[in-house]
Amino acid sequence: MRVSSFARHWLAALACGAGLLAQTAGVVTVAPPPKLTARRGAEAEAKVRVQLRDGYHVNSNTPSEDYLIPLRLTWSGGPLEVAGIVYPKPVLEKYSFSPQPISVFTGDFDIVTRFRTPANAPGGPAILAGKLRYQACNHNSCLPPKTVEFRLSVSVQ
């Protein structure tokens, strides 16, 4: 489907407004990155701020046990390609339910995405949809896996 330049500007403006709002699902709040300027043929970084409710942890992106659900940031839509996602260094914490320390994130942390902008990417505004899937627990119970959805507004130049 072709979307006119006018419509794309409006969509981008609307999404930019929505994207500025922190999105919460369960015990996790995500502050979407500010509007990103992406130059064709170059890379650009976007930082997603994650805030976790006190007393809870989420499994890291590399959980220490097979049965644990990892934290995952994914992107879709828009003209940018994901060149890499850098998660913070996990901490190894011991809980009453884990015989061994497990690899988790706690408190507030950032996830950085490196985007590559193809040389032939169409110029102008664009929107990327971000999803953060996580599974959280506290010291004695766990919450079902959830996904926080948010948007990143991009200007391709």
Footprint of other proteins on this chain (CB under 8 A)? Answer: 24-27, 53, 55-56, 65, 67-69, 95-98, 102, 135-138, 140-145
What is the rounded distance in angstroms from the CA atom of residue 19 to the CA atom of residue 21? Answer: 5
Q: Which is nearer to other proteins, 50 or 136 (CB)?
A: 136
Residue 16 makes CB contacts below 8 A (sequence gap 6+) with 35, 153
Q: Which is nearer to other proteins, 72 or 114 (CB)?
A: 72
Taking the complex as a whole, the smallest distance from the CB of residue 155 to other proteins amounts, in Å, to: 30
Taking the complex as a whole, the smallest distance from the CB of residue 95 to other proteins amounts, in Å, to: 7
Taking the complex as a whole, the smallest distance from the CB of residue 103 to other proteins amounts, in Å, to: 12
Selection from 134, 112, 141 nearest residue 60 by Cα:
134
Torsion angle in degrees (nearest 10) through CA of 51, 56, 60, 61: -60
Q: Which is nearer to other proteins, 20 or 25 (CB)?
A: 25
Here the tokens at position 18 are 């929505």
Taking the complex as a whole, the smallest distance from the CB of residue 3 to other proteins amounts, in Å, to: 30
Taking the complex as a whole, the smallest distance from the CB of residue 40 to other proteins amounts, in Å, to: 40
Residue 39 makes CB contacts below 8 A (sequence gap 6+) with 117, 156, 157
Q: Which is nearer to other proteins, 96 or 120 (CB)?
A: 96
C-alpha 8: how far from chain center: 23
Cβ contact 32:112 at 8 Å: no
Q: Which is nearer to other proteins, 147 or 157 (CB)?
A: 147
